[in-house]
Structure 1
C-alpha cells in the first residue's frame, strides 16, 4: 500500500504504471490533449439566451442594486450610520440607532482573519491529511447523532425523523468511508502538490474570495440600510413617504436574487478557470517542467469561462439560485407559521424546505462536474450535463465517496473558521461596547454575519482544492491512461480500490 508523503511534492513524471493483469496495449491509444476540442473549443457562444439574461441582470439589475444600495446607504450615512471608528473609542462614538463604521471595520477584520485561518487550515490538512480526515469523519457522525437527539428532546418531530435516518445512515457507512480514507487522502495531497506548483490556483481563489467577501459585505449592509430606509416607523420615513413593508420585502427579494445569482456565477467561473487551467493542463499536458503545457493556461481558461462559456455557467447557476430562493421563501413561511401558532403548516413548510435543500445540493454537486466538462471541452450546458450523467451512471458512487471525504474535511475546516470568526466578533463587541449595541440587540446578527463571512471565505479557498479533485476524477473517467503517467502511485491505489475505473467510461 502506498503511503502519501506529507513532505516534498511527489514526482508526477515517475515511470509508467500498468495495473496488475491489464495489458500494456490498453494504454497505447493515448490521446492528443486537444482532441475533441479540449482546451480549444469552437469560437461560438454557448447558451446565448442565458448569457443575455445574466448580462441584463448584471448590468441594469446590478446598477439598480447599486442605486438602491446608494440611496439606502446615503440616508443611513446622513443619519450617522457610518460614525464610529476602530477600537474601543471608535466603537462608542457614532449613532446609537443602528450599525456604524465600527462594524464595517469589524467585518473587514473578520474577513482578513478568515483568509489567514483558511490558509493555515489548508497547510495543516496537507501535513496531516489522514488524521484530519479521520477526525472530521467522526465529528460528522457525532454531529448527526447530536442533532437527532436534540430534535427528539425538543419534540421537533419532522426534523427528528429526518436526522434519525441521516444519523443511522452515517453510522452504517462509517466503515465503508473509513476504508476509502487512504485513497481520498492521497488524491487530496496530489491536488495540493499540483496547486503548490501553480500559484495561479491561489490567485484565482483569492480573487474569487475577495469578490465573494465584497459581495457579501455589500449585500449585508444594503439589506440593513434598505430595512432602515423604507420600514414604516423608522426616523427616515417621513409622513408622506412611500415606506411600506411590501416595498421592503420586494427590494430585499430583488437584492437577494441579484446577490445569489452573481455570487453563484462568480464562484463557478472560478471553478471553470481552475478546471480548464492549471488542473486540466497538468492532467493532459503534464508538469510545466516538461515544456508541453501551454503558456498562461489559467488566463486562457478564464477567457473561455468569462466569454464563450459564460452563458452555460449562468444557466446552471440560475437553476441553483431559483432553488435557493424557493428554500428561503419556505423557511420564511415556516417561521411565520410557528409565530402564528400553526404547527402543521410549519411542519409542512419545513419538510418542503428540506426537500428543496436536498435537490439544491444534488444540483450543485452535479453542476460542478458539468462545469468541468464545459471548461475542458467548451460544451454548452445541456451536452455537458448529459456527459456528466453518463459519467455518474458509470461510477457515481466512487465520486460520491471520495468527494464526500474531501468535502467533509474542508467543510469542517470552514465551520471551525466560521466559529473562530464569530468568537472574534463577539469579543470585539464586548471590548469596544459600541453605542448602538448598549442593550446587546445587535450582538446576534453581527456574530451571525461574522460566522457567515468566515465560512464563505474558507469555502471559497477550499473550492479551489475541490476543483482539482473533481477535475482529476473527470479526467480519469474520460482518459484514465493519462493519470497512469502523471501520478503512478495514485493510479495504482485507484486500480486496487476501483479496478473497473481504469477502463474509462464508455463513450455515449
Structure 2
C-alpha cells in the first residue's frame, strides 16, 4: 500500500544526498524518419558524386590509360593487391585472437599498455639524446608524468577491465557484427575510389574550361581559379561526410545491438534489426551529426594547407594565424566528436533524432554524476596498444613475404623499397583492422555505460552471471556513483560508513527518524563471533546466522555488514531496509511504505485523469477497451477474481497499462500489441500522465520485489529472464 511520501529534509539535495531509487530508461519514440532533410541531402550528394565519377572521371581514366599503357604497372598493381588481400586476412585472424586475449586478460592488457607508454617514452628519450639533449629531457619528463599517472589510476584498472571484458562478451555474442565491420571496410574503399574518380572528373571540367590552364599548371597552380577553390572545399566536405556516415552507421548498429543484448537474454536478430534502423529511421540523424564533423574537418584541412604554403613562402604572420586557426578548429572538432560519440549511442539505442539524443545523454550523465567515471576510463589505451601490436605482427609477415618473394616481383624496384612497401602494407592492414574492432569495443563500452546508468536492474534479469561481477566492481571502485544509480534510503554514503564507528555515524547522519531509531537499536544489540564469544556490534565481526534463529538474532548479525563492510550500504538498497522489511513481513504481515518519493503531484494527476475517464460515456470508454493482452479499459463485471465462487464478475472498472514492447519482443505472447489510450482530443493529458505514473510505480515495485528477495535470504530469486516482462 502506498501512503503520502515523507517530505524530504530541508536542503536534502543541496547537501549531495543521492537521488531516490528509480530507472532513467526512456520511452522509445514511435518509429519515424528522423532528420529526413539531411538524409535527402546526403543521398542527393551521393548521386552528384556518382554522376561526375562515372562520366567525367571514368572517361579521363580510360583516356589516360590509352595514352600511357603499362603492362608492368598493371602487373605490379595486381601483385600488390593480391598481397594486400592476404595481409588483410592475417590481420582479421590476429584481430580476432586479440579480442579473445582481451576478454581473458583485460586487466593485464591495461597494465601492459600503460607501462608500454612509459617504455616508449624512455626509448624516445635515449634516441633523442644523440640528436638533441633537450628533446631527450622532454621525453624523460613525459615518462615521469606517465609513471605518476599509472600510480594515480592503479585502483581503477580493475574497474576498466571489468567493463572492457563485458564489452567484448557482448560483441562476441553477435559475431556477425565483425563480418559487418569487414564489409564496411570495403564500403569505405569503394567510397574513396568513387570520390577520387569524381574529384578527377570535376577538375577535368574546370581544366577544359580554363584557356590558361597549361600556364597555371606550369607554375604549380591548379586550374579553375576561385571557382575551383570553392569546389575543393565542397569536395573535401563530401569525402569526410561519406567517411563519417559509414563509420557512424556502424556505431549506431553496435549501440543498438549491445543495448538489445543488455535488456534481453536472447538476441538472435539484434544485428540485423539495429542495422536496419541505422539505414532507415536513424539515417537522417547520422547524416546530420556527420555533416557537422565533416565541415570542421574540411576547414581544418584547408587551414593546414594554407599554413604549409605560408611556411614555404616564409610568410611568418600568415603561418602563425593559420596555426592558431588550426588549433581552434582541432579543439572544436574534438568537442563535437565527443558530443557525437554519446549522441550516436542514444540514436542506436532508441532511434532518437540527433539533437534529442545529444540532449538526453548529457542530461543522463549530469543527473547521475558520472562524468568523472567516463573520463577515467582506461580502456582506450589498451585497445590502441593492442592494435599497434596486431599491426607489428602483420608488418612482420609482410617483411617475410618480401624476403621470400619471387625475383620477378622485385625487378622494377630496389630490394629496400620492396621490403618497406610490404612491411608498411602489413602494418597498415593489421593496425587498421584492429582499430576497427577497437572502435566496436569502444562503442560497446559507451552503450554499457549508458544502459547501466539508465537501468542496471534490467541487466540483472537478462544476464545475472555478468551482472554480479559488474556490480561488485562498481561497489568496490565507484561506490558513490552506484548510490547515484540505485539510490539510498538513508542518504548516507559509503565513505561515511567506513570503520568501527559506522553505526554511530549512521545514527548521526541518517535523515529520517525511522532510520535513526533502527541504527540505535542495532547499536544496543550484542553479537557473537564464530566461537560464540560476545563482541561489540559496532566494531566486531559477527558471523551470519541462519534465519531460524529469529528476527532479533538476524538483525544482530547485520552489524557485520553495517560496521566492517560499510560499502554494502552503497549496493542496491541499504541493508537496514532489507531487515525492516523482514521484520515487518514476519512479525506483522503488512507494512505502510513511506518516503517512496513518488511525487504527490503525479499521484493527484493520475487520480484526476482516471476520474475523468471513468466519468466518460460508455461509448467513449469502449474506444479504449482492453485488447487480448489486457491493455486498456475493462468495464464493470468483466473481470472475475474468483470464478469458482462468484456468480458474476467483480463490481469494478479497471484500466490497464503495460510497459512498451521492445522491437525484438513483438512476436512473443503478451507483447504483440501496444497500450490502448482514450482519444487524445477527449483526454489530452491521459497518456502522458498514466505512462509517467506507470514508469514510476514499476521502478518502485521492482525494487520492492528485490528487497523482499534480499530480506528473505534469496537475493537472486527475481533475476530469472522474463520475470518482469509485463
Q: Distance in 1 between matches of 2:420 and 2:198?
A: 16
2:371 alignment partner, one of 381, 390, 396: 396
Distance 2:348 2:379 in 1: 22
| Greater relative CO (CA pairs within 8 A, separation 6+) | 1
1:476 and 2:452 are equivalent in the alignment: yes
The equivalent position to 2:173 in structure 1, one of 189, 192, 197, is 197
* Equivalent residue number for residue 7 of structure 1: none
How far 1:370 sits from its partner (Å)?
0.6
C-alpha distance 104-255 of structure 1, shift in aligned 2 (>3 A): farther
Does residue 463 in structure 1 map to residue 439 in structure 2?
yes
1:366-381 aligned within 5 A: 366-381=339-354
Flag structure 1 segments of 5+ consecutive residues without an equivalent.
1-25, 84-92, 233-237
What is aligned with 2:163?
Answer: 187
Cα distance in 1 for residues equivalent to 2:341 and 2:333: 12
Separation in 2 of the partners of 1:226 and 1:425?
35
Partner of residue 386 from structure 2, selected from 409, 413, 427: 413
Deviations 1:420-453 (CA, angstroms, capped at 9, x unpaired): 5556556666756556645988987887676544
Tell me if the contact between 2:55 and 2:201 (Cα under 8 Å) persists in the aligned partners. Answer: no
CA gap 1:176/1:80 in 2 versus in 1, 3 angstroms: farther
User: Match of 1:105?
Assistant: 82
Q: 1:190 Cα deviation (Å)?
A: 1.6
SS in 1 for 2:33: coil
More deviation, 196-205/163-172: 163-172
Mapped to 2, the partners of 1:468 and 1:330 lie a distance apart of 34
Equivalent pair of 1:125/1:132 in contact (CA under 8 Å): yes
CA distance in 2: counterparts of 1:130 and 1:447, whole angstroms: 31
Larger radius of gyration: 2
Match of 2:473 in 1: 493
1:65–1:255 Cα contact (<8 Å) kept:
no
Displacement of 1:346: 4.4
What is the Cα deviation at residue 307 of structure 1?
1.2
Shift in Å, 1:472: 0.7
Give distance in 2, aligned partners of 1:264 and 1:156. Answer: 42
- Which consecutive residues of structure 2, in runs of 5 or more, have no partner in the other structure? 1-19, 208-212, 488-691, 693-726
Residue deviations 1:314-344 (CA, integer Å, cap 9, x gap):
1111122222223322332333334334566
Question: How far apart in 1 are the matches of 2:64 and 2:173?
Answer: 47
Equivalent in the alignment of 1:333: 306
- Matching residue of 1:280: 259
User: Kindly tell me: are residues 195 and 376 of structure 1, through their superposed partners in 2, closer, same or farther at Cα, counting changes over 3 Å?
Assistant: same
Q: TM-score if structure 1 supplies the norm length?
A: 0.73
Query: In 2, distance between residues paired with 1:334 and 1:445?
Result: 30
From 156, 180, 183, give the equivalent of 1:207: 183
Q: Aligned pair in 2 of structure 1 residues 141, 312: CA closer, same or farther (>3 Å)? A: farther
Residue 45 of structure 2: aligned partner = 57
Tell me if structure 1 keeps the 8 A contact 2:91–2:430.
yes
User: Residues 219-263 of structure 1, C-alpha deviation per residue, up to 9 Å, x if partnerless?
Assistant: 79759988998999xxxxx98999984259868766543332112
1:322 aligns with 2:295: yes
- Give me the whole-angstrom Cα distance separating, in 1, the residues matched to 2:472 and 2:33: 40
Aligned residues: 450
Give 1 or 2: higher helix fraction: 1
The whole-number CA distance in structure 2 between the counterparts of 1:493 and 1:482 is: 18
Q: Where does 1:31-430 land on structure 2 (aligned, <5 Å)?
A: 36-37=27-28, 41-67=29-55, 69-78=57-66, 83=71, 93-94=72-73, 100-143=77-120, 170-215=146-191, 218=193, 245-247=221-223, 256-277=236-257, 279-285=258-264, 287-288=265-266, 296-342=269-315, 345-346=318-319, 349-350=322-323, 352-393=325-366, 394-402=369-377, 405-421=378-394
* Corresponding residue for residue 526 of structure 2: none
User: Quick one: distance in 1 between partners of 2:202 and 2:311?
Assistant: 23
**Counterpart Cα distance in 2 of 1:126 and 1:446:** 31
Q: Which moved more, 1:334-343 or 1:302-311?
A: 334-343
User: Displacement of 1:457 after TM fit?
Assistant: 2.3
